[in-house]
Amino acid sequence: MRAWLLQTGEILPLNRGQRKMRSGLLAQCLAKRGHEIVWWASNFDHLTKKKVLPGSGLITLEPGLSLRYLSSLSYSNNISVRRYLDHLVYANKFARAARKEPVPNLIIASTPDYHLAYEGLLYAEEHQIPFVLDVRDPWPDSFLEVISHKFSRKLLKLLLRSDFNKLAKLIQSANGITSMMDSLLEWALNKTVHPVANRVFHLGATSFGLNLKDFEERKNWGKNHDFNVAFIGSFGTLQNPRIIVDAAAIIEHKHPELSISFIIAGDGPMRAQIEKSAKGSKNINFYGWVNEEEIKTILLKSHLGVIPENLNQDTFPNKTFTYLSGGLPLLSGSEGELRRFMAQNSIGRGFDSNSPESLANQIVDIYHKPLEWQRLQTNALNIFEGQFNADKIYSEFSDWIENICKNTNSNGGVAKSN
């Protein structure tokens, strides 16, 4: 099978030890099965807001997996006209470049970005090949949520009428629809009356093969070992770890006798600002961007993983699964599905995402309750192995993709829904 993956927002696994995300993991799994995979991506990194490759080109990432990258405009703000134009320009470039390449047997496109996914659908219809839509965010519906004024919301929806039409056609025409969350899949399926093959495949994370024996040393915090609170992620507007810096300052001031330290790892447009705000702090260590082996080292010596963003929408950040893979109980500012999932499975606690004091209080309280922490740690590892181990998830995802390709008629219709 020759398949194309259309996804421009993920970190590209260009460097040795770079941890792969959803498209990267799926592409790798399919390639290892002997399929020929081409991943269409941008030369611009969404998280760091930097160009990571010059111009446009084709490189081999590993046997069976190629990266076809196209140049893009770039942007500095996630919520901006510049980003919208970047996506439009890239989608148009893909539409032209795709028709110069050998025709694949199947296309898997994620949304966002729906402009690129839409061009992928048009190409699939033109060549009568199956098209799978992987829903990761409720765009463009989510654009309306940030506007409180009713009239302004209606006006924006009118201006984005073409965008909503693109989304509708994507959902109604896809041969298969997947998502990382039940709620997101339900959101998509509610927009079509046609039966379509569908399935939830969680994001997951690569397993480090860790178990409770690996964490014997970290349970004895106090005079000899610090109680480490970790943040691993990007430094952007949404995932801004500033609240962690402020919570660290509160703990350093109010509880200097406690051996609590903070590990902040990652990169992004707000990194310099965050590091400047922590200047003079004695309990914060910045690691910059970390590779897979460095992430493992951080997980092994940490006790809690912080998710600072308030996600009212029903989605889990990638760092959720990274933390769980290391048995880290979660501290989350989310009020959405993640908070409910944490409560149901007893894998962490919530805090007020607008209050550093709230985060500091939760950290100090867990510090004084080692038995509760051990219970949360055990639950975190069990949940990860049971539901979020990437090896299992993407093996099943690959099975499903192969089945879609096999059972699709030559006219582009799904022969059998499963």
CA atoms lying within 13 Å on the CB side of residue 145: 10
* Alpha helix segments (H runs only) across 202-259: 242-254
Residues 6+ apart with CB under 8 A from 132: 106, 107, 108, 109, 174, 175, 176, 177, 178, 401, 404
Q: Give the per-residue pLDDT at 150.
A: 73
Comparing C-alpha atoms, which of 4, 3, 6, 9 is closest to residue 318?
9
Q: Name 78's Cβ contacts closer than 8 Å, sequence gap at least 6.
A: 46, 236, 237, 238
Distance of alpha carbon 158 from alpha carbon 27, whole angstroms: 37
- Measuring CA to CA, how many Å separate 273 from each of 36, 268, 380? 43, 10, 32
Say if residues 238 and 309 touch (Cβ distance below 8 Å).
Answer: yes
Q: Both tokens of residue 28?
A: 């790798």
Domain architecture of the chain: domains with CATH: 2-204+390-407 (3.40.50.2000), 212-388 (3.40.50.2000)
Contact 89, 73 (CB under 8 A): yes
**Burial of 39: CB neighbours in 10 Å, binned 0-12, 13-18, 19+:** buried
Residue 357 token pair: 């004091």
User: CB neighbours (10 Å) of residue 74?
Assistant: 16
pTM of the model: 0.86
Helices (H), 160-311: 161-173, 182-189, 242-254, 271-277, 292-301
State how far the Cα of 379 lies from the Cα of 136, in Å rounded to an integer.
Answer: 26
> What pLDDT shows up at residue 134?
98
CA gap 171, 4 in Å, rounded = 18
Bridge partners of 210, per DSSP, are none
Rounded distance between C-alpha atoms, residue 366 and residue 329, angstroms: 10
Element holding 348 (H helix, E strand): strand 348-350
Q: Can you give the pLDDT of all 418 residues of the chain as single tens digits?
A: 999 999 999 989 998 778 899 999 999 999 999 999 999 999 999 878 889 999 999 999 999 999 999 999 988 887 788 998 999 999 999 999 999 999 999 999 999 899 999 999 999 999 999 999 999 988 777 666 666 677 777 787 788 888 889 999 999 999 999 999 888 999 999 998 888 999 999 999 988 887 778 777 777 787 667 999 999 988 876 677 899 999 999 999 999 999 999 999 988 888 889 999 999 899 999 998 898 899 999 999 999 999 998 665 567 888 999 999 999 999 999 887 888 899 999 999 999 999 999 999 999 999 999 999 999 999 999 999 999 999 999 999 999 999 999 988 544 443 333 3
The DSSP line for 120-169 is: HHHHHHHHT--EEEEE-S-TTHHHHHT---HHHHHHHHHHTHHHHHHHHH
Note whether 247 and 211 are within 8 A (CB): no
